[in-house]
Amino acid sequence: MSLIVQKYGGTSVGDIDRIKNVAQRVKETYEAGNQLIVVVSARSGVTNELVARARELDPNPNEREMDMLMSVGEQETIALTAMALHAIGVPAVSRTGMQAGIMTDPAHTRARITEISGGDLKEQLDAGKVVILAGFQGHSNDGQITTLGRGGSDLSAIAIAAAVEADLCQIYTDVDGVYTADPRVVADAIKLDSISYEEMLELASAGSKVMQNRAVEFAQKYNIIFEVRSSFNNNPGTIVKEEAASMEDVVVSGVAIDKNQAKIVVSDLPDRPGTAAKLFQALGAAGISVDMIVQNIGREGKANLTFTVAREDISRAQKAVTESFPDEAAGKLFEASDIAKVSVVGVGMRSHSGVAARLFQALAEDGVNIQLVSTSEIKISVGIEPDDAEKAARVIHIAFKLNK
Amino acid sequence: MSLIVQKYGGTSVGDIDRIKNVAQRVKETYEAGNQLIVVVSARSGVTNELVARARELDPNPNEREMDMLMSVGEQETIALTAMALHAIGVPAVSRTGMQAGIMTDPAHTRARITEISGGDLKEQLDAGKVVILAGFQGHSNDGQITTLGRGGSDLSAIAIAAAVEADLCQIYTDVDGVYTADPRVVADAIKLDSISYEEMLELASAGSKVMQNRAVEFAQKYNIIFEVRSSFNNNPGTIVKEEAASMEDVVVSGVAIDKNQAKIVVSDLPDRPGTAAKLFQALGAAGISVDMIVQNIGREGKANLTFTVAREDISRAQKAVTESFPDEAAGKLFEASDIAKVSVVGVGMRSHSGVAARLFQALAEDGVNIQLVSTSEIKISVGIEPDDAEKAARVIHIAFKLNK
């Protein structure tokens, strides 16, 4: 008998038939003699509906009340999922985040888990019940409902798996696992059998939206092995785990595209120490994530800074930049243009030189102009014309023999 | 400064504009220098939607899970109402039933309140905040979410008013108050300025659906004076309170119609002691409320029993009756027909004779045939043809000078 945590996302429980489908899957695992904790998200669409309703009342809704509001999505799903299981003869009981003792800090709408008591989960499991747990939500130590932010249900699943020392943690989603590239772009993309936490993290930050980083980071920290797989078929998924020796043989595990980037060039900044710091401090204070950064030499005594941000942050970035240099003409030249980021990721990169060279050559041969480059230990990203993104991904996929 | 409890029902918070309207009303009361606890129901329609979804999964959903599911309706409304108040500058904070320490027995879907700690309500009020409290819900002492059953939000409001010793409790609904008759039937029906708990109870059981009885009974028990009024205008409502001396001058306070009744005649029962008890025990065990009862003398050695039930209970009543007399032909003659119940209610009835006579005469003069009669200390009900119900109400309204 194993103790298994399964997590089903919003599309997997999107309507009554899909909830029945989830129940059937849970039943199979249960009847194979396992103990199960099932973490579910809100039905897809529900969260957006609730946000829309809130914004109609208050464009800047209070975060504590947002958590009170948002947490109803998962509470609905846990009750419905438990009922669906009862209907097919599986004993099940639902638990809110608060009832399962998922304690967080009081940072509403983006709370961090501080402790998990589990409430009576173990007793319920030992009594033969499947426990249906609301993802995404917890409670602060003064009894307020909190939520964990985007992708929070993945985090709930990984964290509860750690807390109960589960034998297996399965993240069910609407894709079959982690691919060498987006199969919609690269037709012969291959599903990976396994991937390291680090690669998974770099892929996510490179625009491959299988899972949010916080859950993966948490899994890495507590060494929770998990599987990403589809709730719509029985194909094995991708196992995410600590880097294995054999992984290093593979130089590049995958290629990811993020088309939602903007390149910003700020010209005519004073060329003296502290200018860049001041600029990026201002962007940080405005809550804007900056990705790639390049400093060019500009005109006499002036510096140009080039960096990328998410496209929706352009106007806030402009505001932050102009406000941080109010007394001078400097930094007033602000140009933004759309850009796509294409990244190759792989732990094998560490021990193999020439990855960048092979990447640049492949792109050059296909006439793709590189505007920006940034690298991490296991990732190389290039900023290119958005129209070139798909072509670049296919070229790279071939260059690194990812289809083999 | 007064401490006021206001309760808004599902239609009063039915959509975003109505929630804004509620917020405006709350703001006025708050800015007049009062402390406020606002109890809200789920948006109208939400509860039915949730029930429908549950039944699609399981025709007999588990009651604990039903409570988990149903309680999201109110949780959504409290968050939205708090946001609507923030948007117009009123500090407000929402609380679930559990957070407000509304402790109940563990009878899911129909729990009874056992204790109210109030949680941090007093502190929030003293800090100048309006507290928005989820109606209809509480929690059992093992931390499970419970709901109070139909009309539960009224009960929440009355109970919290008792717990915090509120100065005033206002039940906002979609009617102006309690009328001498249904204004849709009797054009010159008059809104009552005040009514006693007992009359209110009898009117509700007589089919006048302003409020469910449990809340009124609770108010009577703890002597909580409350006002029933409309959330759509500023008209004063009806004060519900202990019987006042002056009330006795009014013989009849109102007339009520219940058209959802069925008359059942069970013939050929054995005419011996215990027959009626056996029959009504069976109906009671099946959860069927029996209203009026008449025993007729039947054929030789046989008895007929006539009684009324809610129309939707006919088939279950038939099952209960035939099963309770399985071994004999007795009780197999089961006839059901639609009937309307018309009732006059008034505490003054106690001290005035002749009410029944005046009632019967008024109906006779208008050619309304009485099939059944039942009386309580402050109510007389007659069972008549459904088609005669409206006419009967108008005739009675005139006969007792209720329009004066």
Instruction: Return the structure tokens found at A267.
Output: 């010209």
Find, among B314, B262, B323, B260, the residue nearest to B288 by Cα.
Answer: B314
Q: Measuring CA to CA, which residue among A353, A357, A362, A375 is closest to residue A402?
A: A362
Residue B329, pLDDT above cutoff 90: no
Contacts of A184 (CB under 8 A, 6+ apart): none
Question: CB–CB of A68 and B94 under 8 A?
Answer: yes
**CATH assignment at residue B139:** 3.40.1160.10
**Which of A16, A65, A76 comes nearest B79 by C-beta?**
A65
> Does an H or E element contain B258, and which?
strand B254-270
State yes or no: pLDDT of B331 exceeds 60: no
Q: How confident is the model at residue A31 (pLDDT cuts 50, 70, 90)?
A: very high
**Domain assignment present for A224:** no
Q: What is the per-residue pLDDT for A153?
A: 95
| Tens digits of residue pLDDT in A188-244 | 899 999 999 999 988 877 767 778 788 999 999 999 999 999 998 999 999 999 987
Q: How many structural domains does chain B have?
A: 1
Minimum CA–CA partner of A67 in chain B: B79
Residue type at position A389: A
Paired with A267 in beta bridges are A333
Q: Is residue B143 part of a domain?
A: yes
The residue range of the domain holding B100 is: 3-174
A80 lies within 8 A of chain B by CB: yes
Instruction: Name the nearest CA neighbour of B358 among B400, B386, B389.
Output: B400
Query: Looking at the predicted structure, is the pLDDT value of residue A321 above 80?
Result: yes
Q: What's the DSSP call for residue B179?
A: B
Structural domain includes residue B245? no
For position B294, what pLDDT does the model report? 81
pLDDT band of residue B210 (cuts 50, 70, 90) is: confident
Q: What does the pLDDT read at residue B299?
A: 65
Cβ <8 Å between A83 and B143 = no
Q: pLDDT tens digits, residue range B174-203?
A: 889 999 998 888 998 999 999 999 999 888
The C-alpha angle with vertex A322 and arms to A319 and A327, in degrees rounded to 5, equals: 145
Task: Determine whether the interchain pair B86/A54 forms a contact, defined as Cβ–Cβ distance below 8 Å.
Answer: no
Q: Give the minimum alpha-carbon distance from A268 to chain B in angstroms, rounded to a whole number.
A: 42
Would you say residue B52 has pLDDT above 60? yes
- CB contact (8 A) between residue B76 and residue A72: yes
DSSP-assigned letter for residue B327: T
Per the CB < 8 A criterion, the answer to whether B75 and A72 are in contact is yes
User: C-alpha angle with apex A268: A263 to A274, nearest 5 degrees?
Assistant: 90
Check pLDDT > 80 for residue A301.
Answer: no
Report in angstroms the alpha-carbon separations of B291 from B216, B288, B375.
19, 10, 11
CA atoms within 13 A on the CB side of B145: 28
- What are residue A212's phi and psi, to 5 degrees? -75, 155
- Name residues 327-356 of chain A within 8 A of B (Cβ): none
Which of B57, B68, B93 shows the shortest C-beta gap to A84? B57
- What CA–CA distance (Å, rounded) separates A6 from A189? 26
CB pairs under 8 A between A and B: 99
Mean pLDDT of chain B: 90
Dump pLDDT digits (tens) for A87-102.
999 999 999 999 999 9
Whether residue A338 is predicted with pLDDT greater than 90 in this model: the reply is yes
> Is the residue at B49 inside a domain?
yes
Mind telling me how many Å the CA of B319 is from chain A's nearest CA? 26
Residue in B closest to A58 by C-alpha: B87
Q: Give residues 15 to 54 of A whose Cβ lies within 8 Å of B.
A: 16, 19-20, 50, 53-54
Amino acid (1-letter code) at residue B14: G
- A50: closest chain B residue by CA: B76
A129 to chain B: which residues are within 8 Å by CB?
none
Q: Could B65 and A94 be called an inter-chain contact, meaning their C-beta atoms sit closer than 8 Å?
A: yes
pLDDT exceeds 60 at position B33:
yes
* Residues near B100 by beta carbon (within 8 Å), at least 6 away in sequence: B116, B117, B118, B119, B121, B131, B133, B134, B160
The 8-class DSSP code of residue B74 comes to H
Relative to beta strand A254-270, strand A302-310 is antiparallel
Q: Is residue A41 part of a domain?
A: yes
Place of tokens 């108050």: B177
Query: Do the domain assignments include residue A34?
Result: yes
Measured in whole angstroms, how far is the alpha carbon of residue A69 from the centre of its chain?
23
For residues A104 and A115, the answer to whether their CB atoms sit within 8 Å is no
Query: ipTM, 2 decimals?
Result: 0.81
Indicate whether B161 belongs to any domain.
yes
3-class secondary structure per residue, chain A: CCEEEEEECCCCCCCHHHHHHHHHHHHHHHHCCCEEEEEECCCCCHHHHHHHHHHHHCCCCCHHHHHHHHHHHHHHHHHHHHHHHHHCCCCEEEECCCCCCEEECCCCCCCCEEEECCCCHHHHHHCCCEEEEECCEEECCCCCEEECCCCHHHHHHHHHHHHCCCCEEEEEECCCCCECCCCCCCCCCCECCEEEHHHHHHHHHCCCCCCCHHHHHHHHHHCCCEEEEECCCCCCCEEEECCCHHHHHCCCCEEEEEEEEEEEEEEEEECCCCHHHHHHHHHHHCCCCEEEEEEEECCCCEEEEEEEEEHHHHHHHHHHHHHHCCCCCCCCEEEEEEEEEEEEECHHHHHCCCHHHHHHHHHHHCCCCCCEEEEECCEEEEEECHHHHHHHHHHHHHHCCCCC
B19 contacts in chain A (CB < 8 Å)? 57
| Cα angle value B135/B234/B181 (rounded, 5°) | 80
B340's enclosing H/E stretch is strand B333-345
